[in-house]
Amino acid sequence: MRHFTSVNDIPDLKKALEVAFDVKKNPFAYTHLGKNKTMVLIFFNSSLRTRLSTQKAAMNLGMNTMVLNVNEDGWQLESEMGVVMDGNKPEHLREAIPVIGSYCDIIGVRSFARFESREDDYNEKIINQFIDYAGVPIVSMEAATRHPLQSFADLMTIEELKTKALPKVVLTWAPHPRALPQAVPNSFVEWMVKAGMELVVTHPEGYELAPSFMGDLKPEYNQDRAFEGADFIYAKNWASYTSYGKILSKDMNWTVDARKMALTNRAKFMHCLPVRRNMIVTDEVIDSSDSVVIQEAANREWSAMAVLKMILEDNF
Ligand code: CP
């Protein structure tokens, strides 16, 4: 594996899961792989989990790490080609990316959907420039349309907790005050389908995910019906794909609460965090013993470590 931006970069998902569970058991067994190697983590957007877990994963593998918060620490970076740079962005990605690449062996990039152009976001304009110009492997720490390190940790968590070979997994939209990208739900769908899970996606009309991610899956618009017999409930808000970037509903009837969880097969509650309590999920549900959000977040260290280990083994 050279770059990691989606589940499709992983040659063998079952083996990748084995690597993740191995590094979780033996976090310091592979420090030789990253000795004298450096990872730069670049954030165009805020982060708690991704920043700490990816940095920790790199350090577990013996790597040195440097973090750049572009909007706070560095120059504002222009991403459009052919523009007259007379605004507030004094440096172009075209120079910044190869310069960063010259200082390190792997780059992690977080660059969310900007909601200015669906075409630009879905063409992954920013992370693809890193792939084209960095000269070193690129790891997505959430791009415009996918959050693969999160989905890998989500799959690990489901594998750890499932009580049947192919559990029923429900991805449910839930209300939120701000317009959020589709990266987490897109990616979750992609990974669950690849892992062969029974997946149901439920949301209000107008929140259909991109056909390129849904494939043959049809959404269930009745949330109660979707929850019936579920083994895992994965809650997430996202803005509309069809009315791109718009909030069409803040319907609190979609909040995950104890009544809905009672329709499930004692489902585990999942969310990638950060979560808006009593918007996405009630206190009662997220504080219950069926909530696995902390285990899920903790697995981010191991999904990142598995990815970095595979890249180090394949490229150096
Ligand atoms: N789940 C996740 O990516 O969290 P952060 O945005 O805090 O990194």
pLDDT of 135 higher than 90: yes
Residues 176 and 257 both lie in one domain = yes
Tokens coding 188: 């979750």
Instruction: From 142, 156, 238, give the residue whose CB has the most ligand 1 atoms within 8 Å, as the site to mutate.
Output: 142
- Find the mean pLDDT for residues 22-30: 98
pLDDT of 234 higher than 90: yes
Residues 154 and 133 both lie in one domain = no
Residues 154 and 292 both lie in one domain = yes
Percent over 90 (pLDDT), the chain: 98
pLDDT of residue 80: 92
In a domain, 219, yes or no: yes
In a domain, 60, yes or no: yes
CA–centroid distance, 151 to ligand 1, in Å, is 11
- What CATH number should be reported for the domain holding residue 201? 3.40.50.1370
Residues 131 and 242 both lie in one domain = no
Residues 274 and 166 both lie in one domain = yes
Residues 140 and 227 both lie in one domain = no
Q: Residue 236: CB within 6 Å of ligand 1? A: no
In a domain, 130, yes or no: yes
DSSP secondary structure letters along 248-264: ----GGGSB-HHHHTTS
* Residue 315's pLDDT band (cuts 50, 70, 90): very high
Dihedral over Cα of 225, 231, 236, 240: its sign: negative
Which range has the worst mean pLDDT, 66-75, 170-179, 205-214?
66-75
Q: Residue 52: CB within 6 Å of ligand 1? A: no
In a domain, 268, yes or no: yes
Residues 171 and 220 both lie in one domain = yes
Q: Is 245 helix (H, G, I), strand (E, B) or coil?
A: coil
* Residue 71's pLDDT band (cuts 50, 70, 90): confident
DSSP-derived pairing of the beta strands 232-236 and 198-202: unpaired
Dihedral over Cα of 293, 299, 300, 303: its sign: negative
Atom of ligand 1 nearest to the CA of 51: 8
In a domain, 74, yes or no: yes
pLDDT of residue 74: 80
In a domain, 111, yes or no: yes
pLDDT of 197 higher than 90: yes
Residues 158 and 255 both lie in one domain = yes
In a domain, 1, yes or no: no
Residues 155 and 291 both lie in one domain = yes
* Residue 72's pLDDT band (cuts 50, 70, 90): confident
| CA–CA dist 100, 37 (Å, integer) | 14
Q: Which domain holds residue 43?
A: 7-146+300-315
CA–centroid distance, 94 to ligand 1, in Å, is 27
| CA–CA dist 38, 308 (Å, integer) | 11
Helix (H) or strand (E) holding 148: helix 148-161
* Residue 11's pLDDT band (cuts 50, 70, 90): very high
Total number of domains constituting the chain: 2
Residues 120 and 164 both lie in one domain = no
pLDDT of 283 higher than 90: yes
- Whether residue 25 contacts residue 41, with contact meaning beta carbons closer than 8 Å, is answered with no
| CA–CA dist 148, 152 (Å, integer) | 6
| pTM of full prediction above 0.85 | yes
- Whether residue 106 contacts residue 39, with contact meaning beta carbons closer than 8 Å, is answered with yes
Which residue has a Cα nearest atom 4 of ligand 1? 49
Residues 30 and 136 both lie in one domain = yes
Residues 24 and 122 both lie in one domain = yes
pLDDT in tens, 162-177: 999 999 999 999 999 9
Q: Residue 275: CB within 6 Å of ligand 1? A: no
In a domain, 59, yes or no: yes
